[in-house]
Amino acid sequence: MSIETPPVCDYEGSDYRTRFWEGQGRDYEDRVERVALRRLMPPTGSTLIEIGAGFGRLADEYRGYEKVVLFDYSRSLLREAQAHLGDDPRFVYVAGNWYQMPFVAGLFETLVQIRTLHHAADAPALFRQLARIARPDGQYILEFANKQNLKAILRYALRRQEWSPFSSEPVEFVALNFDFHPRWIRQQLRQVQFAPGRMLTVSHFRFEPLKKRLPTSLLARLDSMAQLTGNWWQLSPSVFVCSAHPAVGETAVPHTFFACPHCQTPLGEVKNGRLHCPNSACQKQWQVEDGLYDFKEPVS
């Protein structure tokens, strides 16, 4: 029986890197997101996963980690990351559905998710998966698109949008693109035992006339200072929150890593380019090719 999951936004075969980032005037956004990430992320550790890593834009920020999983639904974007990062053995490239994470429980010390939650049709289901694979005392650094941003408040006050930026529920402004209220995010994280802590407000000056007239370095410095207001109010289009996993709970058994995304049975070594689920009731197989672990669909 197939497992029904929420819809997933698929960037397979897209030109996301060149269309959205490279040469597209987003140096400011890239800089300020890195500032926020460095403030919240533990600088060193054994295992880190980036959820929705895409073409590996932020991979150079993870130099202090022994093993880094770049996880995405798009095989083609992961291949771009692989080509860019070369043969660095610290990186593991994994394609899969974030509602069925292919990892054993209690595996990751640090989880990072930036610019991808806005595609989550069921954020609570995603949070449950991340809580399962986080180690006790693990840290989850999340960025989300803020429903309660200043532009939305002004548009609502001028009756130029119907939805209220003050209501808690997420708003889907176009298909599979969601904005979230900070209060709702904190509530959902607590539901799965993450403890939301420090918040940073980011991209305060995401305004094209400003970005064209003022140096990126100046805007980044100003944003870096403004980020520190995040624990008091959140009016920026982007918000970062760092959440701690409980100190008690399950830690991954040594030498286990991947698990069948359908039945969560730990998987063994790669044989003949495949990972085999040993569960007699499942027995699915997953392709491993040229360093890419492909859990999007079973091969048998």
Please write the tens of the pLDDT for every residue from 196-250: 999 999 999 999 999 999 999 999 999 999 999 999 999 999 999 999 999 888 8
Residue 170: strand, helix, or coil: coil
| CATH classification at residue 37 | 3.40.50.150
Domain boundaries, position 51: 16-257
- How high is the pLDDT of residue 249? 84
CA dihedral sign, ordered 17, 43, 200, 222: negative
279: in domain: no
Give which of 127, 116, 107, 39 is closest to 72, Cα–Cα: 116
* Angstrom distances, CA of residue 187 to CA of 21, 193, 276: 32, 10, 38
Q: Residue 209 class from Cβ within 10 Å (0-12 exposed, 13-18 middle, 19+ buried)?
A: exposed
- Asked if 188 contacts 169 with a C-beta cutoff of 8 angstroms, the reply is no
Does the structure show a pLDDT above 90 at 195? yes
Please count the CA atoms within 13 angstroms of the CA of 106 that sit on its side-chain side. 13
Please write the tens of the pLDDT for every residue from 153-185: 999 999 999 999 999 999 999 999 999 999 999
- How high is the pLDDT of residue 4? 75
Q: Is the pTM value of this prediction over 0.75?
A: yes
Supply the mean pLDDT for the chain.
96
159: in domain: yes
**pLDDT classification of 3: cutoffs 50, 70, 90:** low
Compute the average pLDDT of residues 258-279: 97
- Asked if 188 contacts 127 with a C-beta cutoff of 8 angstroms, the reply is yes
66: in domain: yes
Share of the chain above pLDDT 90, in %: 96
289: in domain: no
Compute the average pLDDT of residues 1-26: 88
Those residues whose C-beta lies under 8 Å from the C-beta of residue 191, and which sit 6 or more positions away, are 124, 127
- How high is the pLDDT of residue 8? 95
Does the structure show a pLDDT above 90 at 1? no
- Asked if 37 contacts 62 with a C-beta cutoff of 8 angstroms, the reply is no
Please write the tens of the pLDDT for every residue from 88-147: 999 999 999 999 999 999 999 999 999 999 999 999 999 999 999 999 999 999 999 999
Please count the structural domains in the chain: 1
297: in domain: no
Residue with tokens 């940073």: 200
Q: Return the C-alpha torsion angle 92, 94, 99, 102, nearest 10.
A: -70
- How high is the pLDDT of residue 247? 86
275: in domain: no
- Asked if 241 contacts 153 with a C-beta cutoff of 8 angstroms, the reply is no
Compute the average pLDDT of residues 256-264: 97
Compute the average pLDDT of residues 61-81: 98
Does the structure show a pLDDT above 70 at 2? no
296: in domain: no
Q: How far apart are CA 85 and CA 11, in angstroms?
A: 20
156: in domain: yes
Query: Parallel, antiparallel, or unpaired: how do β-strands 177-179 and 171-174 relate?
Result: antiparallel
- How high is the pLDDT of residue 6? 95
- Asked if 84 contacts 78 with a C-beta cutoff of 8 angstroms, the reply is no
Does the structure show a pLDDT above 90 at 5? no
Q: Return the C-alpha torsion angle 164, 169, 170, 172, nearest 10.
A: -60
